[in-house]
Structure 1
Amino acid sequence: MKRAIIDIGTNSVRLLVAERPDGGEWKTVTKKVNSTRLGEGMANNKALSLAAKERTLVAVKTFADEARSAGISDLTAYGTAIFRDSPEGPEFAKAISETIKAPMHILTGKEEAFYSYIGAAGTSGALTAVVDIGGGSTEICMGFGTDIGFRISFPLGCVRCTGQFDVVGARGIGELKKHCFELFPQADEVASVKRWIFVGGTATSIAAMLQKLDVYDASRVQGFVLKPEEVSDLLKQLFSMSYEERCHIPGLRPERADIIVAGVAILDALMEYFAIPEATVSDRDLQEGLLDADLVKPE
């Protein structure tokens, strides 16, 4: 059995192709990403720009064509924060569905949190909190196995907050973290969790940068342990660098150089607020959770 998932987010379009033998588990065949920045300018204007929509449609169609050329007919597209926030979201989702001739679903914030948790934590036998820092939103989901106890979505993301705050100096970083601290009390229920997993492009980029990976290696990112002092030091390093200097950091894709500071600041604030002594990074995330969306559904 083969299945393709196209995840359309505020910052990027991602393709996951996976296969599962009878009675077995899903195995990744292909993972690809295209940073189309659909949510550009989203902090100031909720309208989707024509250029961003065109870039995204091209990327989605390219991924859909690639999946079908590999013989995959089971294809579903999903939209996240930008589709929830923009009044044009439902209309654009319909245009995507018509273009790729496949279903296109807009996930609620709580659905996004749930499937990110399932993708990263699976059926873990320990109380776990999974954090997904995306382009337009940040989700926290706490559970034990597939029994979900709490989930929430915050309007915090690396694209959104780059537009809202001046993240090239200490003052702007301080204002962004203060904003995070004002929102995080809504998730105080997860404060006692000992096992934390971070997913999404910000987290995987941090793991890649700390390991100075010239070429992204999912096997080295998966399970990488983050310490709060490492994240704080990296944040100070990043906002003291120019955009051009960030473009040449090993482990950071150049197309993330303008938004990575905001993402790291959000993660840094979260580790500080919840006093997290360490957390692991997962290359498995929302997409992997969505592979079984027809069978496993949030309550």
Structure 2
Amino acid sequence: MNSENNNQAGKENGRHQKTPSVLPAGSSDVKAHQNKKNRKKKNRKNQKRRPAAPNIYGAIDLGTNNCRLLVAQKTSSGFKVLDSFSRVVRLGEGLGKTGVLSKEAIDRTIEALDICVSKIKRRGVTHMRNVATQACREASNCDAFIERVEKEVRIKLHIIDPMEEARLAVLGCKALLEKKYSRAIVFDIGGGSTELIWVKLCQDGLPEIIDWTSIPFGVVNLSEKYGTYERISDGKYKEMKQSILNSVAAFVEKNDMQVHTDQGQVQLLGTSGTITTLTAMHLGLETYDRNQVDGARVRSLHIRALCQKLSVLNYDERLALRGIGADRADLVVAGCAILESIMDLWPIDEIRVADRGIREGMLLDMMESHRPGQNNKPQNNKQRTRNKKRSRNKKARKDQKHDAALNNNPHVDNPRPHKKEEAAQ
């Protein structure tokens, strides 16, 4: 009766009151009901405190010779690599003669990209950036290739210009730039081009690119032009070197680099398959070990001696040497010619070796531009103004999300262990 009166009173006041359960004081049902309520409150608290899923970053670097992937998670000191992949695809094979990417090269590249996407899918990548460099910049059928990749592999490749390629290479290698120097020359010997970057080392440790140049000579197009399966004559080897020197002379003179070099203020830092392969050979490694190569310091005279030794051997003789694989043995002589030219231009006693570059640069760039939760709070006028100035980073994030969205139906392939990349770096 009391309960009915209470309900009637509630209705008259314009609201309905839920009839409470009438239970004896101290009843076990009361305790169970209270415990259930406490558990619900605790669960709601735990849900609020549960940390957001970590951001996982992926970067694909498709060059003239290699297809490379790196997947990582941000840490307080940089990032932790979760997965990686590298395969020689020779995308630029024959490009110098035909001006187009061949069907065979495209098929090899699609197969490698399929593996990359399988790894990206499995690792739950949330932010991606996928770039292509010299071969795609040069090929007349690049648009058709990009469309096929997007249709079949479900990722979008962005063709970057040489300036962006140089910026990413320096960003990826910045941890190996030493504060005791005021300048650095960073070189990246690729398959279809070579980037040379003149860097100022600021007091805060951050590198500032003063100038850069990209010359259209890499290990693939030079090897195709001069042929490297047979022994190259001394005259042809000198001709290769001279073509590099002629291409770089104006860059050296423009920046008055010799003054800083003579004063011992310049660090020489190299990132590419050529310098890492030669370093592994110099160290006497049976199999390539990134932990021993990345960050190593080697004497220029030792690397020059190796270059001169390799330049007089044919393919089979080079392949028989320790530390050089089949995919590098036919390209290494062209790489040696480029590297010797660099050492001629800048006679610096020591080379710092980097088994890192564009992939690492892309990861660091994404991690810097993306800050979790930054869009969850209202923005004041100052924040809006600041964000307008970050239009480039905003566009990059949009591309990353677009790429991740495309990656919803990857082709499944047999993945390789992430600690052993296929190609010798």
Fold-level match, TM-score > 0.5?
yes
Match of 1:181 in 2: 245
Q: TM-score, normalised by structure 2?
A: 0.66
Residues 1:19 and 2:73 aligned together: yes
Distance 2:176 2:351 in 1: 18
Aligned residue pair count? 297
Q: How does 1:147-296 map to 2 (within 5 A)?
A: 147-167=208-228, 168-188=232-252, 189=255, 190-191=257-258, 192=260, 194-294=266-366, 295=368
Distance 2:275 2:338 in 1: 10
Amino acid at match of 2:184: T
- Percent identity between matched residues is 28
Match of 2:155 in 1: 102
SS at match of 2:287: coil
Distance 1:213 1:75 in 2: 34
SS at match of 1:251: coil
Distance 1:281 1:97 in 2: 35
Distance 2:335 2:116 in 1: 26
SS at match of 2:150: helix
* Post-superposition CA distance 1:261-295 (Å, at most 9, x none): 10111011111122222211011211101113344
Q: How does 1:36-185 map to 2 (within 5 A)?
A: 36-122=89-175, 124=177, 125=179, 126=181, 127-143=183-199, 144=201, 145-167=206-228, 168-185=232-249
RMSD of Structure 2 on Structure 1 (CA): 2.0
Residues 1:9 and 2:63 aligned together: yes
Given that residues 311 and 336 in structure 2 are in contact (C-alpha distance below 8 angstroms), is that contact kept between their aligned partners in structure 1?
A: no
SS at match of 1:37: coil
Gaps of 5+ in 1: none
Distance 1:210 1:148 in 2: 30
Q: CA deviation at 1:226?
A: 2.9
Given that residues 10 and 39 in structure 1 are in contact (C-alpha distance below 8 angstroms), is that contact kept between their aligned partners in structure 2?
A: yes
Distance 1:275 1:172 in 2: 23
Q: CA deviation at 1:122?
A: 4.2
Given that residues 122 and 146 in structure 1 are in contact (C-alpha distance below 8 angstroms), is that contact kept between their aligned partners in structure 2?
A: no
Distance 1:230 1:202 in 2: 14
SS at match of 1:250: coil
Given that residues 16 and 287 in structure 1 are in contact (C-alpha distance below 8 angstroms), is that contact kept between their aligned partners in structure 2?
A: yes
Distance 2:351 2:89 in 1: 29
Q: CA deviation at 1:123?
A: 8.8
* Post-superposition CA distance 1:156-183 (Å, at most 9, x none): 1000111222552211110000101101
Q: TM-score, normalised by structure 1?
A: 0.92
Distance 2:218 2:174 in 1: 21
Larger Rg: 2
